[in-house]
Amino acid sequence: MGLMDRVAMPQPVKFILNWGRKYSLWVMNFGLACCAIELIATSTSVHDFIRLGVIPFAHGPRQADLLVVAGTLTDKMAPALKRVYDQIPDPKYVISFGSCSNCGGPYWDSYSVTKGVDQIVPVDVYVPGCPPRPEALLHGIIKLQEKIGKEDIREKWSGKLTQPAVTT
């Protein structure tokens, strides 16, 4: 254990770093079904999640901070989701958007549906609904920003922060 592992980050530095990270989230959209339309609606001028510091569409996974999985994840599509997640640089966050991505939704008993995105990638925020309204995604983003504001970046990079924030 080195000296930097024992020294706590000063609170003003931690606040500034977390403030910058939580208000500059680049979204990688992984839209799989009808929930993807609600995700796109959230980025329109009516709901405008840019005002929350969320840039709607990253050019690719290597420029993204936030992966939003919206829709039914099948077992055949799960390796592609894992590949996209692995390409996002740390620190990275995941929002599971909709009942299908949370637990399989109405298709949970199908042989080909993954029973939740959290079986493939760690999820930070769950947004329930079928399909969830754009306001629910905005609430989920605010919950994620609250979580980012409180975290210690060293703990995030070490993988110790795995508790999801569930929205209602």
pTM of the model: 0.81
In the chain, count of helices (H) and strands (E)?
7, 6
Query: Is pLDDT above 50 for 118?
Result: yes
Residue 127 contacts residue 93 (beta carbons within 8 Å): no
SS3 (DSSP) at 94: strand
Measure the CA–CA gap between 102 and 128, rounded to whole angstroms: 7
CA distances from 35 to 43, 48, 124, 145 (A): 13, 17, 18, 21
Instruction: Answer with the residue of higher pLDDT: 158 or 125.
Output: 125
Q: What average pLDDT does this structure show over 122-140?
A: 90
For the chain, the C-alpha Rg in angstroms (whole number) is 16
Instruction: Answer with the residue of higher pLDDT: 25 or 51.
Output: 25
Instruction: Answer with the residue of higher pLDDT: 123 or 62.
Output: 123
pLDDT value of residue 1: 47
Q: What average pLDDT does this structure show over 104-127?
A: 89
SS3 (DSSP) at 91: coil
- At 37, is the pLDDT very low, low, confident or very high (cuts 50, 70, 90)? confident
The token pair that represents 76 in the structure block: 């055949």
pLDDT digit string, tens, across residues 65-103:
889 999 889 999 999 999 999 999 888 899 999 888 898
- At 137, is the pLDDT very low, low, confident or very high (cuts 50, 70, 90)? confident
Widest distance between CA atoms in the chain: 52
Query: Is pLDDT above 80 for 162?
Result: no
